[in-house]
Amino acid sequence: MQRPTIAQVAQRAGVSTATVSRVLSGRGPVSAGVQRKVRRAAEELGYQVDPIARALRNGRTDTVGMVVPSISNPFFTSLVESVEHALGREGKELFLCDARSDPEIEARRLATLVARNVDGIIVSPCHGTESGPAVQATADRLPLVQLDRFVGGTSTDWVGVDDIAAMRQVMDHLREGGARSAAFVGSLLTNSSTEQRFAGFRRRAEDLGMGVDPDHVLLGDYSVVWGETATARLLAAGDPPDAIVCADDLIALGVTRACRAHGVDVPGTVQVTGYDNIDFARLGEPALTTVDQPRERIAAEAVRLLAAAAAARDSAAGGRGPSAHVALLPTLVVRESTRAAAPASRS
């Protein structure tokens, strides 16, 4: 028993395939009686359109591709959830790809998505420069929106948060807490996130007259292990800073863990901040002060931009207006890693 085709439905209903298609898609005039017959036949056979045949004919797949640097980073998975949610509202599906933080794999994924004829692509480029050619080449062929991270040398829409503003909030908060010097632990400056966040960090530190020892800028990757390693180095060098600002929560979790292991009190001796507000942030010991990204809104905005780009492409050929850059304002979430804990949370 193979899956029924439109032809079988047509035969059973005693009409042509054209009519069946018209009934099922709701396009074109069909008399009420025939509609009923067709619907019943379709129902009885359990007919479902074949998305492949439809895609071939229509040139649309109702599928959006998404490429993220790493599916094991909780921030990205929650972003994916939000995007999937937003797409669901438009009756579109998500095809998710993991770039494993490798621009080469990323380029292959993008090519695959183009080949698969997705309707649009949402990408968070893993590299600030090397991701450029592939992203641009892809954007030349399909509607594309960059999310969270972006890559230089491209002209595509982008949605994310204002990292500079976020860092201003973070630094002001640390200063209020009495910090007079700060360290920065991030990934290498090869992606826009660390780059922007570091720029925001440095600028505000200067404004506030907070010292930043060049040796207190440690760049590795987005991982707990790197946070631990960097902290060990910081502490080994002596003269630790009053605060450690991290480019994401994973790093911050590593930092707090290492502080604990070395007997350094957080926030008493050193304040620590993260970025992203992943679910695990509140599990740190102490719970992390971090920057919350409005994921739902980022996702919704990205989907909206994608739809707009697709529409523009259909009507005015090549009438690409200037690309949209939507920078949302993130929120600082204050927890124990920068403020004395509530009594009940002490161990």
| Residue 190 binding partner per list DNA, a second copy, none, with a CB distance cut-off of 5 to 8 Å that depends on partner kind | none
Q: Does 57 bind DNA (CB under 7 A)?
A: yes
CB atoms within 10 A of CB 22: 18
CB of 28 to DNA, least distance (A): 5
Tally the C-alpha atoms within 13 A of residue 23's C-alpha that lie toward its C-beta: 25
Taking the least distance from each CB to a second copy, the nearer of 74 and 211 is: 74
In SS3 terms, 236-249 reads as HCCCCCCEEEECCH
| Residue 77 binding partner per list DNA, a second copy, none, with a CB distance cut-off of 5 to 8 Å that depends on partner kind | a second copy
| Residue 238 binding partner per list a second copy, DNA, none, with a CB distance cut-off of 5 to 8 Å that depends on partner kind | none
Taking the least distance from each CB to a second copy, the nearer of 78 and 154 is: 78
DSSP codes of every residue in 50-109? -HHHHHHHHS--SEEEEEES-TTSHHHHHHHHHHHHHHHTTT-EEEEEE-TT-HHHHHHH
CB of 110 to DNA, least distance (A): 19
Distance CA 235, CA 242 (A): 12
Which of 111, 103, 104, 82 is closest to 94 using CA atoms?
A: 82
Taking the least distance from each CB to a second copy, the nearer of 25 and 345 is: 345
Could you say which residues in the range 9-28 bind DNA, by CB under 7 A? 14-22, 24-25, 27-28
Taking the least distance from each CB to a second copy, the nearer of 210 and 250 is: 250
What is the binding site for a second copy (CB under 8 A)?
3, 48-53, 55-56, 61, 71-72, 74, 77-78, 80-81, 84, 93, 95-96, 98, 111-112, 115-117, 141, 224, 253, 257, 260-261, 263, 279-280, 283, 285, 344-345, 347
Q: Does 49 bind DNA (CB under 7 A)?
A: yes
**Residue 160: helix, strand or coil by DSSP?**
strand
